């Protein structure tokens, strides 16, 4: 079993595509080979290098999401250079060091090249964690219909009666920025308030 950590901001976009896609998660390091890997970890507690707005998490504007995945789809990060020689010693050293500085353990990192379709055989569980509870738990979720507002598509997921919505904006570097909203009402109310 491996774990991919994300947030309620990203979850509706993942559900809409039906797959996990590699991203530029480590874009703060210059000169990384393209495309980046799709990352996971064997550490069920979390991954300190994941993209996260800590303020929004603390304020309850988003939840942490843990996707439990079949480990047969990933290989250990320690094999990256053997599989992809474009990952130089220096790049591996810098990425390992940046992870260690953030409190991660690169020995637990897993990766793969290419998107991962999320079939029931691969995605075994979706769990959530809020700042206030600090506990991972399974939770029912509902993907809501997208809403257009002010030129953006808002995608939403309802978890435990709360609707978490986000509008995605693609940056020049190919990464994504998000506007986020949370509501105890329907998704349309979120888009109208944004």
Question: What pLDDT digit, counting tens, does each position of 138-177 carry?
Answer: 988 999 999 999 899 999 999 999 999 999 988 887 778 8
Give yes or no for residue 194 having a pLDDT over 70. Answer: no
CB 78 within 8 A of CB 86: no
**pLDDT for residue 25:** 53
pTM: 0.88
- Residue 162 lies inside a defined structural domain of this protein: no
- Residue 42 lies inside a defined structural domain of this protein: yes
Measured distance CA(11)–CA(77) in Å, rounded: 24
- Residue 66 lies inside a defined structural domain of this protein: yes
7 is in which domain, residue-wise?
2-139
CB 59 within 8 A of CB 130: no
- Residue 191 lies inside a defined structural domain of this protein: no
Read off the pLDDT of residues 13-71 as tens digits, 9 standing for 90 and up: 999 999 999 876 545 566 677 667 999 999 999 888 887 788 889 998 999 999 999 99
- Residue 25 lies inside a defined structural domain of this protein: yes
How many domains does the structure of the chain reveal? 1
């Amino acid at each position: 079993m491996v774990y991919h950590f994300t947030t309620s901001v990203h979850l509706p976009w993942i559900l809409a595509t039906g797959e996990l896609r590699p991203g530029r998660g480590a874009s703060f390091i210059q000169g990384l080979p393209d495309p980046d890997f799709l990352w996971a970890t064997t550490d069920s507690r979390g991954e300190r290098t994941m993209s996260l707005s800590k303020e929004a998490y603390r304020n309850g504007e988003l939840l942490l999401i843990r996707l439990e995945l079949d480990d047969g789809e990933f290989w250990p990060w320690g094999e990256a250079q053997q599989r992809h020689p474009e990952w130089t010693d220096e790049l591996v050293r810098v990425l390992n060091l940046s992870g260690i500085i953030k409190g991660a353990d690169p020995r637990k990192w897993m990766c793969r090249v290419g998107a991962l379709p999320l079939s029931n055989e691969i995605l075994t569980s979706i769990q959530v964690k809020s700042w206030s509870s600090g506990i991972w738990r399974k939770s029912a979720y509902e993907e809501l219909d997208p809403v257009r507002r002010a030129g953006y598509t808002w995608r939403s997921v309802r978890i435990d009666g709360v609707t978490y919505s986000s509008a995605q904006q693609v940056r020049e570097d190919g990464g994504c920025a998000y506007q986020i909203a949370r509501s105890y009402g329907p998704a349309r109310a979120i888009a109208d308030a944004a």
